[in-house]
Structures are given as structure tokens and as C-alpha cells.
Amino acid sequence: MRRPLRQVRTNTPEPTDLHPAWLPPEVWAAIGARRTLICGQGLLIDTVQAEVEQAADRYGGTARRITAEADLPPADLVLALAADLPRPRPADPPPTDSKATVAEAAESKPAALTPTDSEAAGVWAALAGARAELATAEALGAEDFVVTRHHGVTVVVAGAPAGLLYGLFEVVRLGESAFGRGHRVRVCRPVMARRMLDHWDNVEVHPVMGQVERGYAGGSIFWREGGPRGDRDRVTAYARLLAACGINAVAVNNVNVHATEARLLTERLDDVAELADLLRPYGIGVHLAVSFAAPVVVGGLPTADPLDPAVRAWWAETTSRVYARIPDFGGYLVKADSEGQPGPFSYGRDHADGANLLAEALAPHGGVVRWRAFVYNHRQDWRDRSTDRARAAHDHFAPLDGRFRDNVIVQVKHGPIDFQTREPVSPVIAAMPHTRLAVEFQVTQEYTGQQRHVCYLAPWWSEVLGFRPWGDQGGTVAEVAAGGGGLVAVSNVGDDRFWTGHPLAQANLYAFGRLCWNPGLRPQAVLDEWIDLTFAPDRCADPDLLRRTLHEIMDDSWRSYERYTAPLGVGFMVRPGHHYGPDVDGYEYTPWGTYHFADRDGVGVDRTRATGTGFTGQYPAPWSEVYESVESCPDELLLFFHHVPYDHLLHSGRTVIQHIYDTHFDGVREVEAMCRRWEWLARLVDPAVHARVTERLREQLRCAREWRDQVNAYFHRKSGIPDAHGRTLH
Ligand code: GCV
């Protein structure tokens, strides 16, 4: 039963002029207008209470905390911990049929009862119904919850406070439909226990990389010019957004750990503790990226050798101090022996020695060490065709399988190179069955348009997560991650008022969280959720146009981006350093190991066992064979695995060179269409959002044309082959 609305307040953005992203006040209307009972104790239950109170305050409902023993007032929504579900006492109205469905309940009111008795009985009956369903459901884990509806009351029951917080946000997502007829029982459990974001935020502004490495949304929300930013409201608002899409952990500093950041572990630990205090009420645990050389750099020891007893003692003591200050600290994140970061190689030790050292220090406290597998030689001689960066992670880590301690998570980039627009799945994911693996994505759009281009990445991640490294008979990437260290992504958030620079890039952050929770969600369905929450289409003049247009712009935007940038999986071709815009030969003669080998006859990297670097041999069957053969290799990865002549015929029926020309023209046309479509939304979305996206689209179009013209001109000049359709190639 709904109470009549009291006066609804106007919706001002919270907390200052920050864009509310997927939690604008309107999404709380369904809950806020109703009577909610909250049962349970704990910090996260206080958060639930505060959220519902705020909504009720705005929309005229009520939020009452009750204990299991208290009288049961009438309610429309009950949010309860299973252990605190109120139990009827002899004097309470008897529960009616607990098995009644919502439809029955909504239509039937026991005639013999007075309205008040009826309402109270309805709540009792609803609780009895929830209890009956719980009895048949599998035990609820710490983050699980059940949503049921009986006798006109929606009941969310969780096994632990975190589950109730996620249950609350599920009701937010459901909106009015959480209180409608025909609601089926939903048991919700996250597929990934670990759902994490890594911030590549520097405390001290880095002379080249700035405040946030690969950040495209302004400064850091955590740090500013050498110290804490001190914007508590913003961090709390961020925590809230993360919890609402399912994230439960963050690393608060860059994996490239410089001098100031190294001290977060010791004398600047209070700065980390302060962030932990702000993130904790939303169930988000804090991790710290640490320098492997910390014993030397901040500890004053002569060595960081992982087998040195003094080094082990230093890590043990330092870690104990961290836990004394932050009892629920998540653990360490380490980039070692990679791109100049220190690591165990300096002491003749391997990555298992290094990771186990930190794991040993963390184990007594329940912490984990996340050890990145992004290790390769960034000082390669480009003349040396036998060295292949794609092989590096597997070469280094696969032989170590089984040697890592239980609380080590090896964190693997989803592709073998570096978050390109198209790469095969990393073979490491299939190569370490005795190691806990986490799969790493990049929400920040380093190589996918840097938040100046619309590029909805969920379809890409979804493909990766659904990939079966052992073929149809084996599990998926998502299953490997779920059984190990979960998913992690580099955050795309900064101090920009839209959080992500490009307002539509918010969808990537939201989608990453939702795919962690359930990798089986369809990207379009996730986008729909995000549109519903962020744009409230039902409240605009033309909901269908708004929804349809956003889908038209975003659904396929990753593939559009792929079309106008580097072709057929070859990757890079970006401007060195900042990685924005085209530069076909930009990395060709550099030490970074990212080459395309284009000449007058052909293009692509021969990674076969027969004639190339042997990388295909790192895959199990059937992929080792599929990728080895130029006939069976999927078109979209052809140039990643093979060097082929320009007139090589693709499965699509086009030659490689014609594919390059066609897709580049198509990609730009698609961006032109995006720009036109966005104009249709001028009066349907917030003018500030509209203006920002318009400005970004203009740049996207300019840049897409530049990509098209440079890539087409380059390959035309190399190959001398004209476009079959006679278009200008420059
Ligand atoms: C944080 C790429 C990026 C680097 C990043 C690195 C990594 O190379 O360009 O900025 O460093 O990946 O993942 O560690």
C-alpha cells in the first residue's frame, strides 16, 4: 500500500554541482514515497537507513528502523537481515497464506480484518512468505539478497549488511516495478566476489603523466598536488555510485609508484585511512599500490630481496601497522619489473618469490596481494623479429603456476598486449589453473578514444568474458575469474563535474560494475538500466526517442571506433606517449614492442609457430590451431596473428586492403550519424550534458576523419592499390 505523496521537493543535484550520474534523486521516488522498515544492525545498515531516510524525506515516505522484537508497523517495503527478520508473537495478527503470489495478494484483502489489522497482517504474511522462500533457497552469502513480494509488501532479505545495501540498490533499479504485480522471487548473488577498480591516480603531479595517469576526466578525486584532495563529499558520492553498480574494492593510487606515493604505506598512511573511512560505509575496501622497493625506498634497508629475512620482517611489521590503522584493509597491488618499476628480478628472484613475500606479510590479516602479470621488455630492439611482447606475460608467469601462495591474485590484462581496441584473449588466462587469476580491463579509454569519443565498451568486455579458452567444452573467461580473483578495471573517473569527462563514458563505469556482478548480462540490457537511471526517459517528452537514440549512438560505438582506427586486430598506430589520434608508424621503430610490419606487399605480425614468434602455441586447442592457420583465424584478429599480402581475401569476401578502405569510410559515416542523432536529443536531456556531449562529438568526428585519412593514405601509398570505389585516399 502506498501512502499519498507529501509535497515532492525539487531535485537539485547533489552534493554540489556534481552530476548525479546513475543516482539522480528521481530514482529514489519509488522507495521514497513508501513506508520502509529496516531491520538489522551495523555500519552498512546505517547506510541503508540513511539512504532511505533521505529518499523518504524528499518524497514523503518513512524510514523506520525496527528490531526483531518490536511491534510491526504497516509497511510497503521491508529491508531486513535474515537473522533480524521479525517473528510473530502470540498477540500479533496471524499471518495469512504465506505462499500467496503478488498478483493474488494485490487483489485480495482478508475481508474480516480492519484496514489496520489487514495491513499489519499483510506485513506479517509477507515476512512469513519471505521466510518460507529463504528456507528453500541456498544459504545467503555476505553479499547475496532475496527480493520477494507478498500481500502488497516487498521484502528484501540479506544474509549480511553488504547484501542489504546491494538489495536496496536493486530496488532502486527496479523502481516502481519493485512494487508491482506479478513480481517473481529473485535471489541475487554476485558472480564475482572481487569487483575492483584501480585508480592510476598520483598523489604528486607527475611531470609527464599528470595527476592521473591515463586520466581523461580532470584531476584525481582523491589527491591534489602532493596531498589528499580533502573533498569528502565527492569521495562519498563516488562510493555510493560504485556500490550502486556493485563495485566493492578500489586501489587508491597508481601502479606506477613514485617517491611520494611509496610513503602512503608508512608515514602517509593516515591519508589512506581517511579514504578508507569514507569508502567503508558503502562496502568498499581499500587497497594500496606499493613499490616492491619499499624496504629500501621508505624502510632504509640496503636491499628489497624477497628472500632476505630483514626484508620479510620489514614487510611483516609494516603490514601489521597498516592493519592496526585500517583493520579491513584489502591488500597490496604490485606492478613489478615492468616499465621501470622495481621487482624481484633485481635480486635474481622470480615473480612467485616477490608475490609470496608480500602475501606472507598479509596472510595473518586476511589481506591479498594482487600481482600484475603485465611484464614485458619495454627496451626491445625493433630490429629483432623474434622477440614478441604478446608472449611475455605467459613466458614469465605460466611456468610459475602452483608456486603462488593462496592469498596471491595474479592480475592479468584481458589481452596479451595492452587494452587495445581488439586483441585476442590473453593465453595466461588458460595457463594457470593452480593460481588465483583476476582479469583486468581498462574503463579509462586510453586506447579507445580517451573519453572524447563515444565508445561503449561493454560489448567488448562481454565478448572477452564469454570467450572459452579451451573451446566449446571448456569454461569461460568469466568462470576463470569468478573462481579466482574476480574482475578489476582501471577507473575512468576524475574531478570533472560529469565524473568521466564525456558524460556517456559514465555508462562504461556502470557497465563494468554490473558485468562483475553478472557477466552474463547483455550489454544492451545494461545500457537500458543505465539510461533508465541516468536519463529517467519516462519523465521526458519523448521517452522512446531518447532511449532509441542513445542505443543507436552507443550500442555499436566500440565497433565504429574499431572501424576507423587500427585495422583487423593489428593494434596501436596511435601517437606515441599520449596515445591519442593516429600515427601509423608512431611505434614502428621504437623499443616498445608494438609493431605492424607494414611494407609494400603486406601487413601484420606473424605470430605462428610455423614461421613466426610461436605465440599461437601459448593457447590450448582449439585456439592454438584456429589462430595458427591463416584460413581459420577470425578476420578481426587476422593481422594480430599473421602477416598477409594486401590482396589476401578475408572471410568477409573482401581483400585486406579493401577492408581497410571500406571500414574507415564506414566508421566516419557512423560518427557523422552519431552527431546527427545527438542533435535530436537537444530538448530531451539536461542542457549541460547535451552541450558537453556535442563538444566531444565534434572532436570525435574531427579525429575519426583524421584516422580515416591517415590510415587510408598510408596503406594506399604502401600498397599502390586503389580503392575499388574510387574514393579519395589522399
Ligand atoms: C600505469 C600502459 C599505459 C601505462 C600504464 C601501463 C600499466 O602501458 O600506457 O600508462 O601504467 O599500461 O598497465 O601498468
Q: Which residue has the higher pLDDT, 8 or 151?
A: 151
List 337, 446, 495, 529, catalytic entry = 446
Mean pLDDT of the 103-131 span: 61
pLDDT for 71: 77
CA of 653 to the centre of ligand 1 (A): 37
Question: What does the angle CA 182 – CA 183 – CA 186 come to, to the nearest 5 degrees?
Answer: 145
pLDDT for 113: 37
91 has pLDDT over 70: no
What is the per-residue pLDDT across 645-687, written as a single tens digit (0 to 9) for each? 999 999 999 999 999 999 999 999 999 999 999 999 999 999 9
Q: Which of 198, 199, 200, 587 to mutate to test the pocket of ligand 1 (most atoms within 8 A of CB)?
A: 200
What sign does the dihedral 561-565-567-570 (CA atoms) show? negative
pLDDT for 95: 53
**Average pLDDT value for the chain:** 93
Q: Name the grid cell of 523.
A: 550489454
pLDDT for 624: 98
The 8-class DSSP code of residue 440 comes to E
6 has pLDDT over 50: no
CA of 116 to the centre of ligand 1 (A): 62
Atom of ligand 1 nearest to the CA of 256: 1
Q: How confident is residue 271, by pLDDT bands cut at 50, 70 and 90?
A: very high
Q: Which residue has the higher pLDDT, 236 or 107?
A: 236
pLDDT for 118: 75
Q: Name the grid cell of 17.
A: 554541482
| Closest C-alpha among 469, 472, 467 to residue 432 | 469
ω into 622 cis (within 30 of 0): yes
Atom of ligand 1 nearest to the CA of 338: 14
The 8-class DSSP code of residue 66 comes to E
Mean pLDDT of the 548-554 span: 98
Q: Which of 211, 418, 579 to mutate to test the pocket of ligand 1 (most atoms within 8 A of CB)?
A: 418
Q: How confident is residue 122, by pLDDT bands cut at 50, 70 and 90?
A: confident
> Of the given ranges (64-73, 258-267, 477-486), which has the lowest mean pLDDT?
64-73
Distance CA 59, CA 7 (A): 7
> Of the given ranges (182-186, 237-241, 249-253), which has the lowest mean pLDDT?
182-186
418 is catalytic: yes
Work out whether strand 145-150 and strand 186-188 pair parallel, antiparallel, or are unpaired.
antiparallel
Q: How confident is residue 93, by pLDDT bands cut at 50, 70 and 90?
A: low
Atom of ligand 1 nearest to the CA of 442: 13
| Closest C-alpha among 232, 240, 234 to residue 25 | 240
| Closest C-alpha among 433, 345, 359, 357 to residue 392 | 345
512 has pLDDT over 90: yes
What is the per-residue pLDDT across 289-307, written as a single tens digit (0 to 9) for each? 999 999 999 999 999 999 9
446 is catalytic: yes
603 has pLDDT over 90: yes
pLDDT for 545: 96
List 339, 384, 599, 647, catalytic entry = 339
What is the per-residue pLDDT across 557-593, written as a single tens digit (0 to 9) for each? 999 999 999 999 999 999 999 999 999 999 999 999 9
Q: Which residue's CA is the closest to the ligand 1 atom numbered 11?
A: 256
Q: Which residue's CA is the closest to the ligand 1 atom numbered 12?
A: 418
> Of the given ranges (384-388, 474-478, 608-612), which has the lowest mean pLDDT?
384-388
Q: Find cell 602517509 and name the residue.
A: 268
Q: What is the pTM of this model?
A: 0.95
Distance CA 284, CA 38 (A): 21
Distance CA 660, CA 586 (A): 18
CA of 235 to the centre of ligand 1 (A): 24
Mean pLDDT of the 694-704 span: 98
89 has pLDDT over 90: no
Mean pLDDT of the 603-613 span: 98
Which residues, including other chains, have CB under 8 Å from residue 420's CB and lie 6 or more apart?
447, 566, 569, 571, 572
pLDDT for 120: 76
pLDDT for 560: 98
101 has pLDDT over 80: no
Q: Which residue's CA is the closest to the ligand 1 atom numbered 14?
A: 255
183 has pLDDT over 70: no
Distance CA 667, CA 664 (A): 5
Which percentage of the chain shows pLDDT scores above 90? Answer: 87
> Of the given ranges (171-185, 316-330, 543-557), which has the lowest mean pLDDT?
171-185
Distance CA 150, CA 391 (A): 56
Phi, psi of 13 (to 5 degrees): -60, 145
59 has pLDDT over 50: yes
The CA-based diameter of the chain, rounded to the nearest angstrom, is: 91
What is the per-residue pLDDT across 305-353, written as a single tens digit (0 to 9) for each? 999 999 999 999 999 999 999 999 999 999 999 999 999 999 999 999 9
User: How many other C-beta atoms can be found within 10 angstroms of the C-beta atom of residue 709?
Assistant: 16
18 has pLDDT over 50: yes
* C-alpha pair distances (Å), 498 with each of 173, 182, 238, 245: 21, 37, 12, 17
Distance CA 304, CA 319 (A): 15
| Closest C-alpha among 259, 333, 335 to residue 296 | 259
Atom of ligand 1 nearest to the CA of 214: 10
Mean pLDDT of the 585-606 span: 97
CA of 445 to the centre of ligand 1 (A): 12
pLDDT for 280: 98
Which percentage of the chain shows pLDDT scores above 70? Answer: 93
Atom of ligand 1 nearest to the CA of 440: 13
ω into 15 cis (within 30 of 0): yes
Spatial contact of 555 and 42, defined as CB atoms under 8 Å apart: no
